[in-house]
Structures are given as C-alpha cells and as structure tokens.
Structure 1
C-alpha cells in the first residue's frame, strides 16, 4: 500500500477506484465509504490536478469536516472531507483538489 500526500495526487490516481470501498480511519475504529464520483474541475488552470471526489458512507454517525486517513488495498491517503448531503442512502462526503 502506498501512502500519498494530497499535493501529489491527481485525478488519474483515483480514476480506477470509482465504486471502490475505502476504510476511513477513526479513533477506536473505522467507517466504510464508497467512492461514488471522480470528476475533473473544468475551470481549472491545472488540468488533471483539479478534481472532485464524492464518497458515500452510512447516514449515521455523521462525521464533521476534517482530515481523515482513507485506505483500500492499493492506496492510503489523508484527505480533507466535508459532509455535503444526507439522504435515505447515507451521507455524501466531498473532497476538492484544486
């Protein structure tokens, strides 16, 4: 597993992980998130380096915005996540790289 720093990450690093499960590491445990969307930010001056990730987790508990370690079998990265929506299917957490 490779630990990446957010400054080094690009859209290509996540493109193959759309639909993949990630473990969000928490004090005393973890929470499973699914990477639902990987999309470029079109108005960026840095093609490939500006992008948006949307992760879906359970509706409860709701975690506040903050930096969390996300891991799967091929990638481990600390990402600043913001909860942006809740519905019957769960909570959506967003990360913007710009």
Structure 2
C-alpha cells in the first residue's frame, strides 16, 4: 500500500469527503492541508496535517473513518475533533 501524501490532498481543498456512519453518509469538507516540520531524515514521507469541517450539530468521536472521495477513492483517516465554530465542528488528521 502506498503512503498517503500532502500532494494527494492539496488538490482536494474545499471538496467533500463522505464517511459512512452506521449506514448514513456524513459530509466532511477539506478546509486545510498543510505541511508539518520534518521529524528527521528517517521518515518515509513528509508529515502533514488535514483539517475537515462538518456542519452537523453532533460531535463525532475521535476514530478512524473510511472516507470516500471521487478522485482519491476510499481512504482510512483518523480524525480528532479540535474545534467548534458557528456551523459545526473541525476535525484534524495528522500524518507523520
């Protein structure tokens, strides 16, 4: 399996990923894709962070979600809720 990279997600900003939660499709919009400082020369990929927005009033738990995207297909992403705004919640995924 190939490692996911920032380049794969950079072209998906402001696009919708959907996650299947107990038979319901939940929309998460990618609102940020940023590189993180390198941990060292031994890393297999450059670390990066993704932030998704979900406009549900429900806070979804920290866990791995099977996310679907038209170009990327299905990817498993561990999301952590990090903030709430007026219209929903922000979830972060860190890849290192």
TM-score under structure 1 length normalisation: 0.85
Which of 11, 20, 24 pairs up with 1:25? Answer: 20
5+ residue gaps in structure 1? none
Q: 1:1-98 to 2 correspondence within 5 Å?
A: 8-45=3-40, 46=43, 49-75=46-72, 76-98=74-96
Aligned residues between the structures: 93
Tell me the CA shift for residue 74 of structure 1. Answer: 1.1
Q: Residue 79 of structure 2 contacts residue 91 of structure 2 at CA under 8 Å; is this kept in 1?
A: yes
Distance, in Å, in 2 between the alignment partners of 1:56 and 1:44 is 27
TM-score under structure 2 length normalisation: 0.87
Q: Which has the higher contact order (CA 8 A, sep 6+)?
A: 1
5+ residue gaps in structure 2? none
Q: RMSD of the TM alignment (CA)? A: 1.7
SS at match of 1:8: coil
Please identify runs of 4+ aligned residues in structure 1 that moved more than 3 A: none
